[in-house]
């Protein structure tokens, strides 16, 4: 209910019957509105008024609006159901904004009022040709050009390019003689007085305007310029870098610029010729650069050395295998020489020292043995550096299983080889060097173990070679692949008092203990038997479900107790690996092992006796106990199950009835499990559970893409409609145990894919459209935090990124690292390392196959040479190539994502367009 003082109207909402308007001047009901009178919904949830307009929140139809001065219904604000779009083209015509929504159509918005004027879809009377709109533009004569992605029908006009003249659609012809020549994906459109241009999947195309003096005249297809000849109008189309043209723009009389996925071109549209072409030419997507005076030198792996005069803005002749400077075109490194005006180039040809002033070769060393020179590796260099009089040469990588772990050294004073630095031997394996650079008086070398048929090897680390002593310093410590962040509150926390503690387990080894009232770090252990999959308080002890039994902490004496192991605190037939643990009433429930070795166990709080049940029985499906939840006096165990055999049977929800739910007069018994075979549960691989006790609903999450969240209604003993990705729920799998229902809010942790957290507001059996927040990072545990205002602690795993957190979710939104953050070097997959003397920055990749990085970590170099990692920046995609420190900013070049900058003072991230 809300009162509008402008119209002296009281707006009253009815839960299922629309609204009533009551005049406080006349003390009468002056109007009622329901679905029969044109409302989009009768299900009213809240009302607000402002300046004579009533805004009405509904359960299923967005925000409805009523003009109280009339009174009459005006347009509702509703979700269009289109999210996470890769593109949304825009065109503006006076007071109308045209917004293209791929998969839906075109939205028309009043630019002055921001109201939605109309939505054009193929089903509407205006008959927009296709809903998959890729590009919009107002043409030279004021019409609206619409480029879409359509079916390749072969029709004269397939609808991929259409023009709206204000009253009718005109479909431009797309038929080109020959097999599979018709354009049917349109990426960009533009026009001038000569015609209409489009970038398509069949080249850059041009259409001639209809004759304005002939009402019967139509658009004609002039030509499509592509990688081959015989374009649509018969003109020569040879020489385009690619047939996929993503940008077109007239740049002068009869000249058209066309940008493609492989380069750019200029087309003379009057004679149909391609007059200029530019291509990158480097398959590695990386150029080596060196600047001397006003010339920039760029090394490419298949072009040699390109030269650009920065003063005149002109390209100079390249140095390649035909110029006498290099013996081969493949250049992998360029660095400044020891003498002014010299430059070392490395590649398939070995090493060449060039006099840049005279353009002559001073030194040429081939790979292998050199007379009166050093012996070079048989591999091209990936990096070379010069420290004092020594050159360090790291080999270019091949496949992850090919050993490349020795750094060669050359004495430049006498041109002789010194013993190589064996990074693999230092770590005790055959390895692959990923990066190398000078940090202070040390050469840092990042290395990982070679991989083989058994998968990835040791993740490796960064080694430190002391250039003064000629020996190793201590290697940098790593935190590995964290994979799981489990944060739980233990002690007396609700309400909060001094004994409340937050325990956070990071990955395999790291466990932190905080005092919650002031968030003081009390302890950190780096050698626990992780991963920790459950934490509970039971009979005065804190218990931790681990991969090596149950760990135990005495909170009174603040010491570790002996762990429970099979036959020593645990039943003899228990397994060591525990996957879930919960306290239910006075008892402790736990799940250990998998499949044939799997068990569900219950420790009585009354007599301290264990009861053990095997999985893969009529009562408990095959698999492992991923989560345990009490709901409606039934202990539910989510049994995760995945198998490559299509005929294998397993997974579901095992149920132990504490209070005779099935009415057979027996309590404390297993009742029929919920499985894919005996119900309409959407998937069998159940991994997470949450309970709405008040409304008797059990929520179920799965380790499966695109299936959503199931809801089992105990009041009807049936499943309700699944909360699907179409309703705003993330399509990614649910993390084991990563669900929480609290009051009216369902939170779901997702991993793999985009990760993030699904947030759904519920009311009984109804649920609002979901919202996915915090994407770009896996989510793990979710628990209510003991704060004054409602908030939640959410474990976030960065896997091999080096960045891991416990985020805080409250009314202000998701606060990254709101409760804790763990930053550390995850592995030796490090490609770039730079330093300013006091700090170091490294780029981190995700696997032994990586050549690019997604994370930049900052660390403080301590007096003993080790590194205290402070924080990190994420680019969210593995695209970072090189980094450079400029004042208080780190600049990063990327592949496909433009230039990134990381402000070190504000810890902010700023992308620039590619």
pLDDT value for 38: 83
Which residues are registered as beta bridge partners of 613?
600
pLDDT value for 82: 62
Question: Does 778 score more than 90 pLDDT?
Answer: yes
Q: Based on the number of CB atoms within 10 Å of its own CB, is 673 exposed (0-12), middle (13-18) or buried (19 or more)?
A: buried
pLDDT value for 149: 92
Give the number of C-alpha atoms closer than 13 A to the C-alpha of residue 863, restricted to the C-beta side.
0
pLDDT value for 439: 96
Q: Based on the number of CB atoms within 10 Å of its own CB, is 557 exposed (0-12), middle (13-18) or buried (19 or more)?
A: exposed
**Residue 285 pLDDT grade (very low, low, confident, very high; cuts 50, 70, 90):** low
- Lookup result for tokens 């763990």: 822
What rounded mean pLDDT belongs to the chain? Answer: 91
pLDDT value for 83: 57
Token pair listed for 369: 């043995």
CB 367 within 8 A of CB 378: yes
Contacts 24+ apart (CB under 8 A), 315-323: 319/354
Percent of the chain whose predicted confidence (pLDDT) is above 70: 96
Name the nearest CA neighbour of 296 among 322, 283, 315, 277.
Answer: 315
Q: pLDDT, tens digit, for every residue of 717-774?
A: 999 999 999 999 999 999 999 999 999 999 999 999 999 999 999 999 999 889 999 9
**97 contacts: CB under 8 Å, gap ≥ 6:** 90, 91, 108, 109, 110, 111
Name the nearest CA neighbour of 394 among 386, 402, 406, 412.
Answer: 406
pLDDT value for 79: 65
Task: Give the Cα-Cα-Cα angle 101, 103, 108 (nearest 5 degrees).
Answer: 30
Token pair listed for 6: 């402008």
Question: Does 231 score more than 50 pLDDT?
Answer: no
pTM above 0.85, yes or no: no
Side by side, the strands of the sheet bearing 144-148 are 133-138, 144-148, 161-164, 169-171
Fold: same for 90-278 and 301-473:
yes
**Residue 507 pLDDT grade (very low, low, confident, very high; cuts 50, 70, 90):** very high
Name the nearest CA neighbour of 59 among 699, 769, 770, 697.
Answer: 769
Strand, coil or helix: what is 425?
helix
Element (H, E) at 426: helix 423-427
Strand, coil or helix: what is 36?
helix
Mean pLDDT of the 844-848 span: 93
Element (H, E) at 424: helix 423-427
**Residue 534 pLDDT grade (very low, low, confident, very high; cuts 50, 70, 90):** very high
CB 249 within 8 A of CB 187: no
Question: Does 904 score more than 50 pLDDT?
Answer: yes
Question: Does 649 score more than 60 pLDDT?
Answer: yes
Distances (CA, A) of 506 to 90, 478, 533, 624, 818: 45, 13, 11, 22, 16
Strands 569-570 and 559-566 turn out to be: parallel
Mean pLDDT of the 300-325 span: 88
Domain 90-278 annotated CATH 2.130.10.10: yes
pLDDT value for 236: 43
Mean pLDDT of the 781-806 span: 96
User: For the chain, what are the domain ranges?
Assistant: 2-77, 90-278, 301-473, 823-911
Mean pLDDT of the 283-300 span: 82
Chain centre distance of CA 138: 35
Which residues are registered as beta bridge partners of 888?
none
Distances (CA, A) of 844 to 283, 435, 834: 22, 10, 13
Q: How far apart are CA 490 and CA 513, in angstroms?
A: 10
Name the nearest CA neighbour of 911 among 903, 902, 900.
Answer: 900
Element (H, E) at 423: helix 423-427
Question: Does 819 score more than 90 pLDDT?
Answer: yes
Task: Give the Cα-Cα-Cα angle 293, 295, 299 (nearest 5 degrees).
Answer: 125
CB 163 within 8 A of CB 172: yes
Q: pLDDT, tens digit, for every residue of 75-92?
A: 777 666 665 567 789 999
Token pair listed for 794: 């959410």
Question: Does 834 score more than 60 pLDDT?
Answer: yes
Distances (CA, A) of 548 to 288, 552, 858: 49, 12, 34
Q: How far apart are CA 735 and CA 726, in angstroms?
A: 20
Question: Does 235 score more than 50 pLDDT?
Answer: no
Name the nearest CA neighbour of 628 among 685, 673, 690.
Answer: 690
Q: How far apart are CA 151 and CA 141, in angstroms?
A: 28
Mean pLDDT of the 142-147 span: 96
Task: Give the Cα-Cα-Cα angle 20, 24, 26 (nearest 5 degrees).
Answer: 95
CB 527 within 8 A of CB 515: no
Mean pLDDT of the 534-541 span: 97
CB 694 within 8 A of CB 704: no
Phi and psi at 427, nearest 5°, equal -100, -5
Phi and psi at 796, nearest 5°, equal -125, 120
Strand, coil or helix: what is 727?
helix
Q: Which segments of 232-375 are extended strands (E)?
A: 245-252, 255-260, 263-268, 273-278, 288-292, 295-300, 304-309, 314-319, 331-336, 342-347, 350-355, 360-365
Chain centre distance of CA 244: 26
Name the nearest CA neighbour of 163 among 131, 133, 137.
Answer: 137
| Domain boundaries 301-473, corresponding CATH code | 2.130.10.10
Element (H, E) at 427: helix 423-427
CATH fit for domain 823-911, picks 3.40.50.450, 2.40.10.480, 2.60.40.10, 3.40.1390.10: 2.40.10.480
Q: How far apart are CA 758 and CA 771, in angstroms?
A: 6
Question: Does 125 score more than 90 pLDDT?
Answer: no
Token pair listed for 280: 């990158």
Question: Does 342 score more than 90 pLDDT?
Answer: yes
Q: pLDDT, tens digit, for every residue of 190-229?
A: 999 999 999 999 999 999 999 988 988 999 999 999 986 5
Side by side, the strands of the sheet bearing 9-14 are 2-4, 9-14, 18-23, 28-33
Mean pLDDT of the 478-482 span: 94
């Amino acid at each position: 209910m809300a009162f509008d003082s402008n119209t002296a109207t009281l707006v009253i909402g009815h839960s299922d019957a629309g609204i009533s308007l009551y005049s406080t001047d006349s003390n009468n009901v002056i109007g009622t509105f329901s679905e029969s009178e044109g409302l989009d919904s009768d299900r009213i949830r809240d009302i607000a008024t402002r300046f004579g307009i009533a805004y009405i929140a509904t359960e299923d139809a967005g925000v409805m609006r009523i003009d109280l001065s009339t009174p009459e219904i005006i347009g509702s604000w509703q979700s269009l159901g289109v999210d996470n779009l890769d593109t949304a083209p825009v065109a503006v015509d006076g007071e109308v904004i045209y917004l293209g929504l791929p998969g839906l159509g075109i939205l028309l918005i009043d630019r002055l009022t921001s109201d939605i004027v109309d939505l054009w879809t193929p089903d509407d009377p205006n008959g927009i040709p296709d809903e998959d709109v890729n590009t919009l533009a107002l043409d030279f004569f004021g019409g609206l050009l619409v480029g879409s992605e359509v079916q390749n029908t072969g029709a004269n006009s397939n609808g991929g390019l259409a023009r709206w003249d204000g009253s009718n659609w005109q479909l431009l012809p797309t038929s080109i003689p020959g097999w599979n020549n018709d354009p049917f994906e349109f990426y960009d459109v533009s026009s001038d007085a000569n015609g209409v241009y489009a970038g398509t999947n069949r080249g850059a195309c041009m259409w001639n305007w209809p004759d304005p003096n002939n009402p019967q005249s139509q658009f004609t297809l002039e030509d499509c310029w592509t990688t081959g000849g015989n374009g649509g109008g018969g003109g020569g189309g040879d020489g385009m870098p690619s047939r996929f043209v993503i940008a077109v723009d007239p740049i002068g009389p009869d000249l058209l610029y066309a940008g493609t996925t492989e380069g750019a071109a200029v087309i003379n549209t009057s004679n149909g010729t391609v007059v200029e072409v530019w291509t990158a030419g480097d398959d590695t997507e990386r150029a080596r650069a060196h600047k001397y005076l006003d010339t920039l030198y760029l090394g490419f792996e298949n072009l040699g050395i390109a030269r650009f005069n920065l003063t005149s803005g002109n390209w100079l002749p390249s140095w390649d295998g035909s110029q006498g400077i290099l013996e081969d075109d493949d250049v992998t490194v360029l660095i400044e020489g020891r003498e002014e005006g010299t430059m070392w180039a490395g590649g398939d040809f070995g090493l060449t020292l060039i006099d840049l002033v005279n353009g002559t070769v001073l030194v040429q060393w081939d790979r292998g043995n050199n007379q009166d020179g050093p012996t070079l590796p048989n591999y091209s260099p990936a990096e070379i550096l010069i420290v004092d009089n020594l050159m360090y040469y790291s080999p270019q990588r091949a496949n992850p299983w090919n050993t490349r772990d020795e750094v060669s050294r050359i004495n430049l004073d006498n041109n002789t080889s010194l013993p190589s630095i064996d990074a693999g031997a230092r770590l005790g394996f055959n390895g692959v060097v990923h990066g190398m650079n000078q940090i202070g008086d040390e050469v840092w070398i990042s290395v990982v173990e070679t991989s083989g048929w058994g998968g990835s090897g040791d993740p490796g680390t960064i080694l430190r070679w002391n250039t003064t002593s000629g020996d190793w310093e201590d290697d940098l410590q790593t935190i590995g692949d964290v994979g799981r962040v489990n944060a739980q509150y233990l002690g007396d926390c609700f309400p909060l008092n001094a004994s409340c503690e937050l325990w956070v387990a990071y990955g395999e080894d790291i466990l932190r203990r905080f005092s919650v009232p002031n968030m003081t770090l009390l302890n950190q252990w780096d050698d626990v038997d992780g991963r920790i999959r459950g934490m509970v308080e039971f009979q005065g002890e804190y218990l931790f479900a681990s991969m090596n039994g149950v760990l135990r902490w005495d909170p009174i004496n603040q010491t570790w107790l002996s762990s429970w192991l099979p036959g020593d605190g645990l039943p003899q037939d228990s397994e060591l690996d525990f996957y879930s643990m919960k306290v239910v009433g006075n008892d402790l429930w736990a799940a250990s092992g998998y499949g044939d070795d799997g068990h569900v166990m219950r420790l009585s709080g009354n007599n301290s006796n264990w009861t053990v049940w095997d999985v893969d029985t009529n009562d408990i499906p095959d698999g492992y106990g991923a989560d345990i939840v009490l709901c409606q006096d039934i202990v539910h165990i989510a049994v995760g199950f995945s198998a490559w055999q299509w005929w294998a049977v397993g997974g579901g929800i095992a149920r132990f009835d504490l209070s005779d739910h099935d009415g057979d007069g027996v309590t404390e018994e297993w009742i029929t499990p919920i499985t894919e075979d005996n119900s309409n549960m959407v998937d069998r691989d159940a991994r997470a559970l949450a309970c709405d006790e008040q409304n008797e609903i059990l929520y179920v999450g799965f380790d499966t893409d695109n299936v959503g969240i199931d809801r089992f209604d105990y009041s009807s003993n049936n499943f309700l409609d699944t909360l699907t990705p179409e309703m705003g729920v993330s399509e990614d799998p649910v993390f084991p145990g990563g669900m929480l229902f609290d009051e009216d809010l369902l939170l779901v942790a997702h991993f793999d894919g985009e990760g993030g957290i699904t947030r759904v507001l519920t009311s009984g059996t109804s649920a609002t459209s979901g919202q996915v927040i915090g994407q770009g990072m896996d989510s793990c545990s979710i628990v209510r935090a003991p704060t004054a205002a409602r908030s939640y602690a959410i474990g976030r795993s960065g896997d091999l990124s080096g960045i891991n957190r416990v985020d805080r979710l409250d009314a202000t939104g998701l606060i990254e690292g709101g409760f804790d953050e763990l930053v550390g070097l995850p592995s030796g997959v490090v490609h770039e390392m730079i330093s300013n003397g006091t700090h170091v920055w490294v780029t981190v990749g995700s696997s032994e196959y990586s050549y690019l990085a997604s994370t930049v970590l900052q660390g403080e170099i301590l007096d003993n040479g080790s590194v205290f990692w402070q924080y990190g920046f994420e680019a969210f995609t593995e695209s970072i190539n090189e980094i450079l420190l400029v004042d208080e900013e780190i600049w990063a070049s990327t592949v496909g994502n433009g230039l990134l900058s990381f402000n070190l003072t504000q810890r902010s991230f700023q992308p620039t367009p590619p």
